[in-house]
Chains A and B, each alone.
Chain A
Amino acid sequence: MFTYYFSLALRSLRRNVVLTALMIAAIGVGIGASMTTLTVFRAMAGDPIPNKSRQLFAVQIDNWGPRQGVVIGDKDNLQEQISYPDAIGLMNARAAQRQSAMYATGFSLIPPNPELRPFVVHARAAYADFFPMFEVPFRYGGSWTAADDAGHADVVVIGRELNDKVFGGANSVGKTMNLDGHDYRVVGVLDRWQPTPKFYDLNNNKYGKSEEAFIPFTRAVEQQLGSWGNNNCGGDTIPAPGWEGRLHSECIWIQFWAELPAPADAARYRTFLNNYAAEQRRLGRFHWAPNTRIRNAREWLAYRQAVSTEVRILVLVSFSFLLVCLLNAMGLMLAKIMGRAVDIGVRRALGASRRAIFSQCLIEAGVVGFAGGLLGLGLTLLGLSGLRSLLSDDVNRLTHFSAIDVAIAITVSVVATTLAGLYPTWRAVQVQPAWQLKAQ
C-alpha cells in the first residue's frame, strides 16, 4: 500500500499547488536555517579522532600553585599547558605507551626552486610518537625515529600542500628543505590530515589548518625556535632573560599528550603523575599538594569548551525557528486535510480503516517533508556559502557540507514534518464518515 499512498500523496500535493508550495517553503526555510548552523556546530563539536579519542589524554600539572592567584579560565586552577621542565620530566619518565610534548612554532622556508620566493611555514615541534599516536596518515615516507629525537636530528615531515608547493607533489623523501637557514632532510610527506577541531592544541587557531611542517622537539629547542602559540607567564613565573631563562621558567607553553589504551593504563598514569608532582614538591619546586589531571580527547574538548556558548545558542535559536516553521506547516497541513474531510469519509465508507487513513496522511506529510528537505538543502548551501564569505580561509572548512549532512538534512526534514503531521493526521482519523457523507 505504500506506493498507493505515495501516489495519492503526489496527487494531493498537485491538487492545491499554492498550499503545497507554502508548506514546502515553510519547511525548507526552517531546514535551511537549522542545517546551516548545525553543519557548523557539527564541524566544531565533532570527534576529531573517533578511533582513539578515549585513549589519548591531555596532561595537566599545576606548577603555579594556589598562591599564584592566576586562574586561566579553569575552575580547577589547572593550566591548559605545561612548562618545559615538566615536559622534559614527563618525556624522560616514558610512563605512557606513547607520549609527546609539542608546541607551535614556525620558520621561513627558502624553496629550492629559485623561482619561488621564501615564505613563512607554520610548524609543530613534537616527538616521533606524535604521528602514530594521532594516526597521522603519510603519503610518502614516514615519521622520524626515537633516535632522531634523541639525536636532535635535522629531519622534517611536511604536509601535502607544502610538498605540492615546493616539490610539485613528487615524492620528496630524502630531499632537503631550508628552514630558517638550516637544511632539514624530508623523511615523510603527510596525506590529507585535518583533525577538526585541532584538539591537540586548542590554544592556537583551534579550527585552523594543521601545521605544514613537523620537526623533532629536541631539534626545535636546540635551534631556539620560539613558540608561535600561546605563552603564559605571570607573577612568579616571569622567566629569566634569554632562551635558557624561558626553558627553566615556570612559563606554560607546551602541550603534552599521552596514549593510554586501557583504563588501567590511565589509572597507572594518574598515579605516576601525582607521584611526579609530589616529587617536585619534595625537591622544593612545588609548595602545594599535587594537583594533576589527565583528560581524554573528548573530555578535553568539553573542558576547553571547543564549541562556544554563542554557537550553541545559535543552534538553539535556529532550531526554534524550525519549530515555528513546522507549526506553520502543521497549520497548513491541517487546513489541507480538513478540506478533504469528505474524501476521507468516502474512503472510510469504502473500507479504509483509521489506520489506513493515518498511514495515507502521514506518508503525505513525509512527502512534503522530503520536498521541504530538498529545498532546505539548497538554502543550506546558500547559507553556508554566505558564511564562507564572512569567515577566513583558515576556518571556512567549518562550512563543509558532506554527504552525511545531506542525509541529516533530509532525515530531519522528513521526521520533523511527519511529526508535525501527526496532529492533522489524528484529526483526519477522527473524521466521522457518516457526518461527512450526511453533510453532502
Chain B
Amino acid sequence: MFKITIQAFITAAKGLAVTLAHLFGARRSRGTRDVRKADYFDQQGGVTTVQFPKEKMPIPEVARYQLDVEIDDCIVCDLCAKACPVDCITIESVKATDVIGKTSDGSVKRLYAAQFDIDMAKCMYCGLCTVVCPTECITMTDQYDRSMTNLAELTYSFADMTPEEVEEKKREWTKFQAEKEAAKSK
C-alpha cells in the first residue's frame, strides 16, 4: 500500500511539473497558426487560443466553408440537390425553347434557373454537391463568419431571374409546347 502511495506521489509530482511548465509557458502565445507552414507541429508550448473576431486563423482560399454558386456556369441539372444528404438545396428549373448559351467550360445550357436556394443553416459542409457538379459551378469558399439575426437570411439565393422573367419564360415554353402539339396534330 505504501509502495503504491509513494508511486502515486511521484507520478503526481511529475504531473504537477508538467502543468507548472504549461502555466508559465502561457506567458507567450503560439506564434505559427498557419497549418500549411512546415514548422506548425514543432510549436508545442504557449497559448493556442485565437481570440476570434479580433484574430483569425489563416485558412486556404479553397477551404471547405460556405457554398457559392456561379450561376452563369450552372446548367440547372439538379445533381447537387439530389446529392445533398440534408436537402438544403432547392432548385426550380424552367425549360428553354432553344439553347440559351454555353458555360465557361463549353457545356450547353438548355434550362433557366428560376430558383436556386441553399439553406446554409441546414448545410453540413460535406461538399458532396461540389463533387457531383458537372460544370464545377458550385464551390466551397473560405467564408465562414456569417452570423444572421434572422434565420431566413441564411438561405442564400443564387438565381438572378426576376419573377416577371420567370413568368415570361414559362409562358414562352407553354406557347412553344402548344405550337408543337398543334404542328403534330396537323
A-B interaction:
no
A-contacting residues of B (Cβ < 8 Å)?
none
B-contacting residues of A (Cβ < 8 Å)?
none
